[in-house]
Amino acid sequence: MNKTIGVYSTEIRANKADASKTWVERYDIFTAGKQTTFRIEALDKYSNRLTKGGDNFQVKLLGSYGRNYDGSIRDLGNGSYFASFNVSVTGNFSLFLTLGLETGLALDNFDGTYTLTVPAVPTVGQHWLEVTRGGAHILGSPYAVMIYPGSINLYTSTINLDSLKQLNVGDSASFLIKSKDQFNNLLTLGGEVFAASTSSPAQRSFTVVDTNNGEYIGAFMTTIAGSYSLRVTLN
Final residue in a domain of this structure, among 147, 169, 199: 147
Which of 1-10, 97-106, 151-160, 170-179 bottoms out in mean pLDDT, i.e. has the lowest? 1-10
Mean pLDDT of the chain: 84
Per DSSP, the residues of 129-153 read E--EETTEEPTT-SEEEEE---S--
What length does the chain have?
Answer: 235
Average pLDDT rounded to a whole number, residues 121-125: 80
37 and 83 assigned to the same domain: yes
| Entry pTM | 0.56
215 and 137 assigned to the same domain: no
140 and 179 assigned to the same domain: no
pLDDT bracket for residue 4 (50, 70, 90): very low
List the domain range (segments joined by +) for residue 103.
23-147
143 and 46 assigned to the same domain: yes
Residues β-bridged to residue 80: 41
Q: What is the pLDDT of residues 62-119, one digit of tens each?
A: 776 667 788 899 999 999 999 998 888 888 887 777 776 666 767 777 888 888 877 7
Using a pLDDT cut of 70, give the percent of the chain over it. 91
Please work out, in degrees rounded to the nearest 5, the angle formed at the alpha carbon of residue 42 by the alpha carbons of 98 and 124. Answer: 50
Task: Determine the pLDDT at residue 217.
Answer: 95
Q: How far apart are CA 39 and CA 211, in angstroms?
A: 43
Q: How many domains does the chain have?
A: 2
Task: Determine the pLDDT at residue 188.
Answer: 92
139 and 213 assigned to the same domain: no
Are 153 and 173 in contact by the 8 Å Cβ rule? The answer is no
Q: How far apart are CA 30 and CA 114, in angstroms?
A: 36
31 and 137 assigned to the same domain: yes
Average pLDDT rounded to a whole number, residues 40-51: 90
The answer as to whether 223 is a domain residue is: yes
142 and 42 assigned to the same domain: yes
Q: Which residues lie below 8 Å from residue 83, measured CB to CB, with a gap of 6+?
A: 24, 37, 38, 39, 40, 57, 59, 71, 72, 73, 74
174 and 139 assigned to the same domain: no
142 and 175 assigned to the same domain: no
CATH of the domain at 57: 2.60.40.10
The answer as to whether 127 is a domain residue is: yes
Q: How far apart are CA 159 and CA 172, in angstroms?
A: 17
125 and 44 assigned to the same domain: yes
195 and 91 assigned to the same domain: no
95 and 126 assigned to the same domain: yes
Task: Determine the pLDDT at residue 81.
Answer: 94
Distances in Å between the Cα of 134 and the Cα atoms of 66, 68, 97, 131, 211 are 10, 12, 21, 10, 49
Alpha helical stretches, state H, the chain: none
Q: What is the pLDDT of residues 185-235, one digit of tens each?
A: 999 999 999 999 988 788 888 899 999 999 999 988 888 888 888 889 998
